[in-house]
Structure 1
Amino acid sequence: MTDEKMQLVIVTGMSGAGKTVAMQSFEDLGFFCVDNMPPALLPKFWELVKESGKINKVALVVDLRSRAFYDQILHMLTDEDSEPATIDSQILFLDTSDKELISRYKETRRSHPLAMDGRVIDGVRKERELLAPIRSNAQYVIDTTSMTPRELREQIFENFGTEGATGKFHIEVVSFGFKYGLPIDADIVMDVRFLPNPYYVPELKSKSGLDDAVYKYVMEQPVTEKFYNHFISLLKYVMPGYQKEGKSTVTIAIGCTGGQHRSVAIAKRVAEDLESDYTVHIQHRDMNKRKETVNRS
């Protein structure tokens, strides 16, 4: 282990209370997450974590209906060879009212795991009884009865994230050609085929929007500047909203006819303008497809 103190969070609670959302939230906070690891594998997993020396935040999302499972985790944390002074361990218990749990099971048409052939309410009551000792030992108890997934995510960020943490939000900017189809993962699509096309300028035809001559040609058009100011203002206005709603990635797709000139230039400028406030990745999906076609022929 390194000298840095490891943060270990054991996430448990009532079935249907939001453990899946919790795991996704911890992943966005940079935790190494494991969901429902078999109890027999826990000692080996812990050994590998300690040996690696590179993992300092772990979230175990586990089903603790088995008292033996809970005891095994406690033993793992208090074992004299595990250097407990270097581990900051906490239990997060997710709870929900019986009425809400029953409603969620009815909505998904699932059987409760402790009442596969009986009434959901019987399974809920049995599980609550089994988990009562664990709930009483939890450092954090979050009642998700009236929470949306976004609100649960925010609560986890507040309790377990560093100051100002908002998750790994980033922006993907993709230029593309409409003749090759829309990017299927696009959240925002902008068609820039209305801008003057460098393709029809002989000395620019074989170049791309990354070349200075093409970039200047596109950007120096009066219509481009007016359009771009509106477009970038819109993007800067909506991005905080995507973050607030818990979205981890927003893909902005900018397209022209072939994805070689106009879309590439606009995408380049968009990425440069947004990267001062966000993590931005850029991809020019179709920029070289025309050259590839010419080479094959």
Structure 2
Amino acid sequence: MQIVLISGLSGSGKSVALKLLEDLGYYCIDNLPATLLPQTVRLLQNEGHRQLGISVDIRGAQSLPALPDCVADLKAHGLDVRVLFLEAQTEALLKRFSETRRPHPLSALHADRTVSECIVQEREMLADVAGLAHRVDSTDLSANALRAWVKQWLSLDQSRLTLIFQSFGFKHGLPLDADFVFDARCLPNPYYDPALRPLTGRDQPVVAFLEAEPLALTMFDDVASYLARWLPAFDRDNRSYVTVAIGCTGGQHRSVWLAERLAARFGPERQVLVRHRESWADTI
């Protein structure tokens, strides 16, 4: 049996992810208290279900502390348990609550608190859950992009460490799910060539431009050497994911090129996933 647990901040896209699982044939349950997880899994397993999608979040706040032990118990019984944690920048969450005019779930418990204060409290309450999970920052993702990223994640071999290379634009903010951040803004910028401006770092003219720059090749070598040296330590720590975020100004050229080149370098020996936050359609 495969069990996908979806958690994260209110407004970060949990409903989109759960609906995707339902469309893929998973038996889905929204807002299940963590303490009911073991018996629910056993019941559905006895009924013949083999793929479950379950949302566990702040709405079941009282049972959240039990979630880590429940996940460990299910894994000890040989079940394939995957935990996905969705989050977003506070400004993006505030905008989404304003657009939908829905109250934050914690507002019912703390009527005197602003939405911003509820978001801060929610982050704190879910910190232990985030530590169990593969984290995805949905700040600048459309619903289609989020669905694409979740589908990529579902296809991974969970028994191996996954090395994720994610490009982004600094002008849109740092990604929340990064373990390492490298800054490619010091490299020559293809943006200032009118012929290259509408392209991305995956297009051959931009690749040729950057690979003709010694500074760009030196940065690639340095980042690759650093990762090659330290990744074995993450293996020994039994980490499931390491996200390497590479930023440039707009997230279209230099960071995309460097992420793609690093993925090609480590792909033959590692399980690698490439994500381009600002040009996500290129990754599908």
Q: How high is the TM-score relative to the length of structure 2? A: 0.49
Max Rg structure: 1
Q: How high is the TM-score relative to the length of structure 1? A: 0.47
